Amino acid sequence: MIGRIHETIVAISSPPGRGAVGIVRLSGPCAISICSRLIDRDSADALEACAGGERIECEVYICDDLSLPAGLLVFRGPRSYTRQDMVEIHTVGSAPALEMIRERGVGLGAIAASPGEFTARAFLNGRLDLARAEAVGATIHAESDSQLRAARRMMDGVLSKLVKRTCDELAEILALVEADIDFAEEPIDFIRPDVLRDRLELLRTSLNELIQAGPTVEQLGVLPHVLLMGPPNAGKSTLMNALSGIDRAICSAVSGTTRDVLSVPMRLGRGEAILLDAAGIDASVDPVIVEGRSKALLAAEQVDVVCVVVDVSSEPGNMVRELIDGLELPTVIVALNKTDLLDEAEVATSLQELAAGGIGRVVGISAKTGDGVEELREALGDALGSLTQTVGGDVAMLTERQREVVVEASGALGRAAELAGGAAETIDCADLLAFELREGLDALGLVTGEVTTEDLLSHVFANFCVGK
Ligand SMILES: Nc1nc2c(ncn2[C@@H]2O[C@H](COP(=O)(O)OP(=O)(O)OP(=O)(O)O)[C@@H](O)[C@H]2O)c(=O)[nH]1
Ligand SMILES: [Mg+2]
């Protein structure tokens, strides 16, 4: 990526598949001249003369005798995302047409862009630091609102600013320690060991806060799982559809309708979870039902919360006990379903009886009418708690890669603080101290990309899509 920065790259930037609009993007010194040979003559003249920041309507040729209407967004470097000349061709979102335009671009001298290469150029040309470039990738891959928020904060540079402040302070401390080495013969104490130790401990505390701030951006993407478990016909599938708002599962009065484990995303307050529906648990010996039951029980051990669904008219207290007896379950919430079939007093008695059993929170619902479903959603959200948490405030979220290097930096600072703590004068251990401080600085440099290698870039940008 670093070696070919002066070549022109081309890629389809819109997502795969059909859409109203598709985008082919070019960046590099020949972006304008290559694009002008893909379009009609008059528009090509307008493109060559364009100073950037404009949209030009044109016909783009997907082959010699076939053109499509298109709009060109033209950016002249350095006022562009990559700080190079860039053109975006917006045309009909047909996959073959976009591919033909891309191939023609390659035929005219552009090279096919690698994943993330546009953003890598933005980084290499100083438009973004590495933490912000990673935030672009995290935004594209966000699968939950928490991930999106975390990525957005990274884009705003919260992490970059924090790391920069730490690096500045560390560089100043290093300069003082090095002065101690350079002027070892002089009777000057540039920094006292106790002051040095305190300053390093402070820096280390702020790095440790960053490490412990919460899940990494990647971890936020792993959604928690909730299983609906109960006897056949209790209304699990009806509840799955009600909670997810999607008609996902077949529901029927025939017992044993669901056989496989079905899954669907579900909103829980501000977070999200995956909701699973499985076969009912009973004593049937029918081989298909036995197979479905063992899949349901296996799922019960792997999820974060089990929501036991029982029919209010089926001696629910005994039913729940029978179901969960001998099982090692995570947090359990009981959904007492079909409350629409009984009067209020009867429902209240069943709820009290279940609550007294101390199994877990009990919510009366009717999956059919929707009564109590929102209260159940809230109970599930509470039970999942931190797993669905949206990280709020100004916390700087880290990617796994960033966390690793911040842990390294914190380790180096810890070793340096220990050296300073055991010394009568800084000079006693100045060489070792300077070494650890440089280690810390180098590690932090990897967060923002002040220290970069081709390997690091390939690692960071490998997860991007082509065209970004
Ligand atoms: N009155 C009433 N009927 C319900 C309610 N929930 C579900 N049902 C009915 O109960 C029957 C079984 O519903 P399902 O959702 O298929 O039950 P299930 O637990 O998934 O059943 P299996 O997949 O066979 O284990 C269907 O006829 C539903 O319409 C409810 O809240 N009230
Ligand atoms: Mg079912």
Domain that holds residue 54: 9-128
Residue 395 banded pLDDT, cuts 50, 70, 90: low
User: Among the three residues 336, 353, 388, which one is the final residue of a domain in this structure?
Assistant: 388
Q: What is the CATH number of the domain that holds 257?
A: 3.40.50.300
For residues 186 and 83, state if they share a domain: no
351 occurs within a structural domain:
yes
Residue 238 CB–ligand 1 contact under 6 Å: yes
Tell the residue nearest (CA) to atom 7 of ligand 1: 235
Counting the structural domains of the chain, the total is: 3
Q: At 115, is the secondary structure helix, strand, or coil?
A: strand
Choose the final residue of a domain: 128, 160, 194: 128
Q: Is 4 a domain residue? A: no
Which H or E run includes 32? helix 31-36
Domain co-membership, 234 together with 374: yes
**Cα atoms found within 13 Å of the Cα of residue 259, Cβ hemisphere only:** 7
Residue 222 alpha carbon to ligand 2 centre in Å:
25
Q: What is the pLDDT of residues 145-174, one digit of tens each?
A: 667 777 887 888 888 888 999 999 999 999
Do both 115 and 247 map to the same domain?
no
Same domain, 69 and 169: no
Q: What are the two backbone dihedrals, phi and then psi, of residue 3, each rounded to the nearest 5 degrees?
A: -70, -25
Position 38 in a domain = yes
Tell me: do 170 and 299 sit in the same domain.
no
Average pLDDT of span 81-90: 97
Q: Give the burial class of 18: count Cβ atoms within 10 A of its Cβ; 0-12 exposed, 13-18 middle, 19 or more buried.
A: exposed
User: Domain containing 192 — which CATH number?
Assistant: 1.20.120.430
**What is the distance between the alpha carbons of residues 24 and 102, in angstroms, rounded to a whole number?**
7
CA distance 243 to 165: 46
CB atoms within 10 A of CB 439: 17
Shared domain for 258 and 308, answered yes or no, is: yes
pTM (predicted TM-score): 0.61
Same domain? For 238 and 384 the reply is yes
Q: Residue 411: which pLDDT band, with cuts at 50, 70 and 90?
A: very high
CB atoms within 10 A of CB 438: 17
- Are 87 and 139 found together in one domain? no
| pLDDT for the residue 332 | 92
121 and 141 co-located in one domain = no
What percentage of the chain reaches a pLDDT higher than 90?
A: 51
In terms of domains, do 283 and 346 share one?
yes
CATH number for the domain including 49? Answer: 3.30.1360.120
What is the number of the ligand 1 atom nearest to the C-alpha of 369?
31
210 and 229 in one domain? no
Concatenated DSSP letters of 277-337: E-PPP-----HHHHHHHHHHHHHHHHSSEEEEEEETTS-HHHHHHHHHTT---SEEEEEEE
Residue to substitute in 229, 238, 312, 319 for testing ligand 1 pocket (most ligand atoms within 8 angstroms of CB): 238
* pLDDT confidence bin for 418, thresholds 50/70/90: very high
Kindly state if the Cβ of 256 falls inside 6 Å of ligand 1: yes
Task: Answer yes or no: do 203 and 245 share one domain.
Answer: no
Domain end position, chosen among 365, 388, 411: 388
